[in-house]
Amino acid sequence: MFSNYSRVKANLTLRKLLPTIALSFALPMTLTACDSGAKTESASSDEVVVLRMSHFLPAPSAMNTQALEPWIKKIEEESDGRIKIENFPGSTLSEASETYDAAVNGKIDIGLQLQGYSSGRFPLSQIAELPGMSNSASQMSCIMQSLYDDGTISNEYEDSHVLALYGLGPGVLHSSTVIEKPEDLRGMRIRRPSAVAGDILESMGAAPIGIPANDIYTSLQRGVIDGLSLQWDAVPVFRVNELVNNHTNIPLYSSGFVMNMNKAKYDSLPDDLKKVLDDNSGMVFAKMVGEVISKMDVEALQDAKDAGSNIIDIPDPLNDPAWSGPMKKGTQKYLASVSQSGVDAEAIYQKVRETSETCKI
């Protein structure tokens, strides 16, 4: 009887002690887990973030060597080496027309692409490419970034984190034969970079052909095209000056660029690294690029003159009796195509014109 009582008492005592015993084991484990978490967070703050950037521009191009590479170096320095950007020029990671989407889908982290390479994808942005909007890369860069910042075109980029929008100098004509007036373009197969340029060229009787810049040289060489529309800074980059020596220096259109980043990748960055990117993006980047390209435009034009090329200057085609009609016709054709989607294209066109005045250098 006494023995049974002792056993019962011992069991009751053990039950009372069990929570205390469990707590004594759990407490060190909890403390260990907290220590581990603190160490992990500290380690992640020192982790090097590698970002892969893709674009179609050749490695030796001024845009790559004088704008992108210095930008990459600045980002790495200001992040104390915690951001490393791997630069892949020449469409080595993504096709020229698919780079924006490659960043959206996470195939790459950062991409640079002409909006005009994705036909119909950025119709509002491309209104800024119409004739008479811009006379330099600096002005076009200011226009593009301003239109994004004030919300005029920002809804076209909601699937991505936009680092910057910028633009190139005016696209002019380069051909195997002399082009002095619109009639000279009739029947000519002219490379165009975008729908805007295509509408302008078509209004003059040319046959626009969509060809990426990287294919210009071989297309000229093989006779696939008779000429092309391209801004001056790109003439030596894509070796156009080796094959043609007739240049009609007329601002037919301008081209816009977007530099975008995968949204999830940007959101995953610590706030201090986001700030490094933000501080070097937007208008800061657009202004820097605009200055680089504007300088190269001037130098490339001078090189063509020094080489003895035939250069015909038509500085203000919208007020030139021979050129104004076709250019205005091409402008209205593009605006009409945008309006078909229910957008007030004329209102946006006027907004872009106002921004153009504000951005005059």
Output the six-digit token pair for 165.
């929008």
> 167, 163, 165, 168: which is closest to 260 by C-alpha?
163
Share of the chain above pLDDT 90, in %: 86
pLDDT 10s digits, 228-284: 999 999 999 999 999 999 999 999 999 999 999 999 999 999 999 999 999 999 999
Could you tell me the pTM of the whole model?
0.85
In DSSP terms, 230 is beta-bridged to: 172
pLDDT at 46: 76
Q: In tens digits, what is the pLDDT along the chain, a chain of 361 residues?
A: 334 333 433 443 434 444 443 434 333 333 333 333 333 232 256 799 999 999 999 999 999 999 999 999 999 999 999 999 999 999 999 999 999 999 999 999 999 999 999 989 999 999 999 999 999 999 999 999 999 999 999 999 999 999 999 999 999 999 999 999 999 999 999 999 999 999 999 999 999 999 989 999 999 999 999 999 999 999 999 999 999 999 999 999 999 999 999 999 999 999 999 999 999 999 999 999 999 999 999 999 999 999 999 999 999 999 999 999 999 999 999 999 999 999 999 999 999 999 999 999 6
Output the six-digit token pair for 113.
């692409």
In DSSP terms, 189 is beta-bridged to: 207
274: which residues sit within 8 A by CB, 6+ positions away? 266
Cα dihedral value 165, 214, 99, 151, nearest 10: 20
In the 3-class helix/strand/coil scheme, how is the chain assigned residue by residue?
Answer: CHHHHHHHHHHHHHHHHHHHHHHHHHHHHHHHHHHHHHHHHHHHHCCCEEEEEECCCCCCCHHHHHHHHHHHHHHHHHCCCCEEEEEECCCCCCCCCCHHHHHHCCCCCEEEEEHHHCCCCCCCHHHHHCCCCCCCHHHHHHHHHHHHHCCCCHHHHCCCEEEEEEECCCEEEEECCCCCCHHHHCCCEEEECCHHHHHHHHCCCCEEEECCHHHHHHHHHCCCCCEEEEECCHHHHCCHHHCCCEEEEEEEECCEEEEEECHHHHHCCCHHHHHHHHHCCHHHHHHHHHHHHHHHHHHHHHHHHHCCCEEEECCCHHHCCCCHHHHHHHHHHHHHHHHCCCCCHHHHHHHHHHHHHHCCC
pLDDT 10s digits, 186-205: 999 999 999 999 999 999 99
Q: Are 104 and 160 spatial neighbours (Cβ–Cβ below 8 Å)? A: yes
pLDDT at 180: 97
